[in-house]
Amino acid sequence: MDFDALLAFLGRHPYLSLGLAGLTVALVYTEVARLFRGFRTVRPAELTGLINAENALVVDLSSSADYEKGHIIGSKSVQPSQFDPESKLLAGVKHLPVALVCRNGMASSAAAKRLKKAGFEQVYWLDGGVQAWQAADLPLVKGRR
C-alpha cells in the first residue's frame, strides 16, 4: 500500500480514520502517563518475588471486613482514610520495597502516588488487587493477623 492509497482510504472512511486517530492518541497518553507516575505496577507472581527475595512490606488498603475475609500473608491492614506516608508503620522504610494492595487496585493506586510523592524509593502497586492475587491461585489467610 502506498501513500496515495492510504490517503484515498482515509477520504472514503472519515469516521473510521478519526476513531483510529483517537485510539492512538489515547494509547500514547496512557503509556506516557504510566511512565511518569513514579511507581511500578506488578502482577501477583512479581509480588511474591518481592515478598520472598526483598522482604517487601505489603500494605493492604481493603476494608476491615474484606481484610478479615482474606489477605496476603504478612500484609498490614490500613484503612484508606487513615493512610499516611508519615505513619509509624511506614517510618524507616523509605528505601525498602513497599507494595500497596486493595480489593481491586483502585484505592492502592492513589496511595502509591502519595508514597512516591513523600519520597519513598521503591513503591509497587498490585495490578488488579487481591482479586488478581486470587485469580492467580495464590493463597490468602483469613482473620486479623
**Residue 44 near residue 126 (C-beta atoms within 8 A):** yes
Q: Which residue is it, cell 484503612?
A: 79
| pLDDT for the residue numbered 34 | 64
DSSP 8-state symbol, 119: T
The three three-digit cell numbers of residue 131, written as one number: 482479586
Residue 69 burial (C-beta neighbours within 10 Å; 0-12, 13-18, 19+): middle
pTM of the prediction? 0.75
CA 22-28-30 angle, 5° bins:
100
**Which stretches within the chain are classed as H helix?**
3-12, 14-36, 44-54, 64-69, 106-117, 129-135
Q: Which three cell numbers stand for residue 111?
A: 496511595
Query: What pLDDT is attached to residue 145?
Result: 58
| Average pLDDT over every residue of 33-38 | 67
50-63 mean pLDDT: 94
Say whether pLDDT at 132 is over 70.
Answer: yes
Which backbone phi and psi does 122 adopt, to 5 degrees? Answer: -120, 90
Note the pLDDT of residue 77: 94
| pLDDT tens column, 67-120 | 999 999 999 999 988 999 999 889 888 889 999 999 988 888 889 989 999 999
Determine how β-strand 97-101 pairs with β-strand 76-77.
unpaired
83/1: higher pLDDT: 83
Element (H, E) at 98: strand 97-101
pLDDT digits (tens, 9 = 90+) for 3-34: 888 888 888 999 988 998 899 998 888 777 66
